Amino acid sequence: MAPLRAPTMIAAVLSLLSCMQPSFVAAGPVARRSDIIVKDYHKAPRFWSNLGPAPSEHLIHLTVGLSQGRFDELERHLYEVSDPAHARYGKHLSADEVNELVAPTDEASAAVLEWLEEYGIDTEDLTYSPAKDWVSIRLPVSTVEDLLNTEYSVWEHRDGSTVVRTEGYSLPNYVHKHISTIQPTNSWARLEGHKQRKEVMKRSVLNKRTSHALEAADTWGPPSTFPPPDNSTIYAACNFTHVTPLCLRTLYGTIDYEVKAAGVNKMGHTNYLEEGKYTPKPGSGCPESPSTNRSDISQFLGLYRPEAQQYAYEFDAISIAGGVIDNGTNVASEARDREANLGKSSVLRNLSLSQQHPFSVLHAEYMIGIGYPTPLIAYHTGGRNPTYMPDILTTDNSDEPFLVWAQYMAGLPDSEVPQVISTSYGDDEQTVSRAYAQAVCNQFAQLGARGVSLFFSSGDFGVGQDETCISNIDNTTAMFMPSFPADCPYVTAVGATTGYPESAAWRRLSSGLYFNSGAGFANYFEQPSYQAKAVDAYVAGLGGLYDGLYNKSGRAYPDISAIGQLFPVIWNGTTLNLVGTSGSSPIAAAVFALLNDALIAEGRPPVGFLNPWLYKWGHILFTDVTNGSSAGCNTSGFPATEGWDAVTGWGTPYLPKLLEAFGVDK
């Protein structure tokens, strides 16, 4: 390992603004009454280059986040209703209660309207989120440049994709404190799916296996009348180069559970789909543009969960802002697909084979494979990597897909919101600005307060993919690369394991890259108090290892883990064996969906936001994973240890123990 320096502060960049970015600190027209002050600056990450000014008539769907009136109070509610030691544990908030807490103050709304009017914007054209904390409007670049005192450019990624962005923007002083973030401005996230990869491409059927090859190392024993699953049962059900639903249901103890509250209890997963070209990161080995194909899901379930086979054609797929869903010939006549367009005229596309990707198929196959007959809802949000098209004077509101999705969820009645939702998208934290990351993360807190458990995959390159581990601030300082939104403190981040007893997942891929359970410490989010004790003890145990490469005061992840290595997925009629934390997250979510089923069947609230419970005492119910590490950034990464570690979190779930601990019937 080369000697490495500590990252420098983002604040240092802010003070240099006027020399680095003279264009956007220029004052507005003289008639305006207020000082113009830099609101946010975030340098374009490596691999993006400026092709020159954006055409002034290009349309931008501008989204303005208003400071949420009582977010601190919302956060307090979130922690109270999620803390098993608190009297309000499980007393989740309704959508209306949440929206009331996050609604901007009258003063903030008035100031923002005044600002828009001052710049000649017709406020009749604004559209609002349910809590009125986000306002959107389509405007030409020239107007936005005036409004934000900046200049937009066309930026090109080295993979050839292009976006219209600016690195920073300035606002009149009187609206500063009333605005959280404005987008699209300086968000450069690629929102690439956490990247399951093809290992072996072959047709295959379920293999049962009896083997004595693996050593049992089950030394960990929490107080419970339910011992971990018997190893011979697991060896009989599992082939760890081909992990099927039968194996997972055996390993995580869901196989004997009988679903009782299907319908009231639901599970969801999200996909963020671009409507056109999607170019994965160079070297990532990912094929282009993902989507769901019900025929593949049906084929998978026919093999691995036969009683659920027909359900492949029945689960709800919801298209948000033009997300692509399978509305093709395979859909049964009463297609369940629904469209939710958020005020944007968009055309739903049917699915062409060239647009398919094993990605969302994987989520549906494993969530149904474990959670059936709990209903699944698949949310497909359009526009993941918006591509600037010079001849087309339109844009859409999906430049910021997490925001679009979260606003859609904020408007849903409580009865329609799934109690667990899995997401396997993310990018390096430093590809977005701190303000934007905070605004998105706050949206997730709102769902948590409503009793939703959000699972995010933790990433696939350990502490960072080797060549990317350089700070965006100076383009030279080496640092571990935290992944957003897995590092948001209001979500449960899921790492990857393999084998039995489970180790942290680790595999050399045919591309030459190494897959490793994603892990790290946020720079944008401070350590939440719920994890301080566990994480501080872990950091102390490292004895200075990697000092300067990671932020000890940041939110650490993952929180838990699940199998993420070598599971079969049927895609385009063929079985692929995949690896990735994008498998771990839906698997963990489906296990918790079944715990919720048991709770809801007894008239009790779902588990909701897991982490406060998890770190306080839920962790003793997990199967600790103590072997392996989160190798990356040319290091062997953080080691797995007893207890919490920055590789596999607290380990993997086992439903019988969870049911017992919650005192519910099996």
Binding site, annotated residues for Ca(2+) = 624-625, 643, 645
Kindly tell me the sign of the dihedral angle through the C-alpha atoms of 223, 224, 227, 229: negative
Q: Which residue is at the shortest CB distance from ligand NAG?
A: 328
Give the containing element (helix H, strand E) for 515.
strand 514-516
Whether the link from the prior residue into 485 is cis, omega within 30° of 0, is: yes
Q: Which of 17, 23, 46, 162 binds ligand NAG (CB under 6 A)?
A: 46
What character string, x for contact with ligand NAG (CB under 6 A) and - otherwise, covers 352-391? xxx-------------------------------------
Minimal distance in Å, beta carbon 617 to ligand NAG?
Answer: 25
Output the DSSP codes for 33-63: -S-EEEEEE-PPPTTEEEEEEPPTT-EEEEE
336 in contact with ligand NAG (CB under 6 A): no
Which tokens belong to 416?
């329609």
162 in contact with ligand NAG (CB under 6 A): no
Q: Quick count: other Cβ atoms within 10 Å of Cβ 526? A: 12
Q: Which of 182, 267, 331, 421 binds ligand NAG (CB under 6 A)?
A: 331
CB-based contact 368:409 (threshold 8 Å): no
Q: 390 vs 573, which CB is nearer to ligand NAG?
A: 573
Residue 11 exposure: Cα atoms within 13 Å on the Cβ side: 3
296 in contact with ligand NAG (CB under 6 A): yes
Which positions from 51 through 90 interact with ligand NAG, judged by CB under 6 A? Answer: none
Minimal distance in Å, beta carbon 33 to ligand NAG?
Answer: 34
351 in contact with ligand NAG (CB under 6 A): yes
As a whole number of angstroms, the distance between CA 39 and CA 47 comes to 25
As a whole number of angstroms, the distance between CA 583 and CA 579 comes to 7
Minimal distance in Å, beta carbon 663 to ligand NAG?
Answer: 27
209 in contact with ligand NAG (CB under 6 A): yes
Stretch that binds ligand NAG, among 26-34, 59-67, 162-170, 205-213 (CB under 6 A): 205-213
Stretch that binds ligand NAG, among 134-142, 394-402, 498-506, 579-587 (CB under 6 A): 498-506
35 in contact with ligand NAG (CB under 6 A): no
What character string, x for contact with ligand NAG (CB under 6 A) and - otherwise, covers 240-259? -xx-----------------
Q: 613 vs 638, which CB is nearer to ligand NAG?
A: 638
> What type of residue is 112?
V
Residues flagged as binding site: 624-625, 643, 645
As a whole number of angstroms, the distance between CA 457 and CA 295 comes to 26
Which tokens belong to 578?
């995949």
Q: In 69-218, at which residue ranges do the beta strands (DSSP E only) sit?
A: 127-128, 134-140, 153-157, 162-165, 168-172, 179-183, 192-193, 197-201
| Beta-ladder partners of 496 | 562
As a whole number of angstroms, the distance between CA 68 and CA 75 comes to 11
CB-based contact 204:222 (threshold 8 Å): no
Give the DSSP letter of residue 291. B
Query: Nearest to residue 495, comparing CAs of 599, 416, 585?
Result: 585
350 in contact with ligand NAG (CB under 6 A): yes
469 in contact with ligand NAG (CB under 6 A): yes
CB-based contact 378:271 (threshold 8 Å): yes
Q: Which of 499, 583, 586, 618 binds ligand NAG (CB under 6 A)?
A: 499
Residue count of the chain, please give it.
666
As a whole number of angstroms, the distance between CA 503 and CA 517 comes to 10
Q: 464 vs 618, which CB is nearer to ligand NAG?
A: 464
What character string, x for contact with ligand NAG (CB under 6 A) and - otherwise, covers 623-652? ----xx----xx------------------
239 in contact with ligand NAG (CB under 6 A): yes
Minimal distance in Å, beta carbon 589 to ligand NAG?
Answer: 24
Q: 84 vs 287, which CB is nearer to ligand NAG?
A: 287
Q: 164 vs 351, which CB is nearer to ligand NAG?
A: 351
Which positions from 514 through 573 interact with ligand NAG, judged by CB under 6 A? Answer: 523, 525-526, 551, 553-554, 572-573
Q: Write the CB contacts of 3 (distance below 8 Å, at least 6 apart in sequence).
A: none
CA 508-293-249 angle, 5° bins = 60
Q: 482 vs 618, which CB is nearer to ligand NAG?
A: 482
* Total interface residues for ligand NAG by CB under 6 A: 53
Q: Write the CB contacts of 122 (distance below 8 Å, at least 6 apart in sequence).
A: none
Minimal distance in Å, beta carbon 467 to ligand NAG?
Answer: 5
Query: Nearest to residue 596, comparing CAs of 261, 308, 316, 250?
Result: 261
Binding stretches for ligand NAG (CB under 6 A): 2, 7, 9, 46, 200, 204, 207, 209, 212, 215-216, 218, 231, 239, 241-242, 293, 295-296, 326-328, 330-331, 335, 337, 348, 350-354, 466-467, 469, 475, 478, 499, 503, 506, 523, 525-526, 551, 553-554, 572-573, 577, 627-628, 633-634
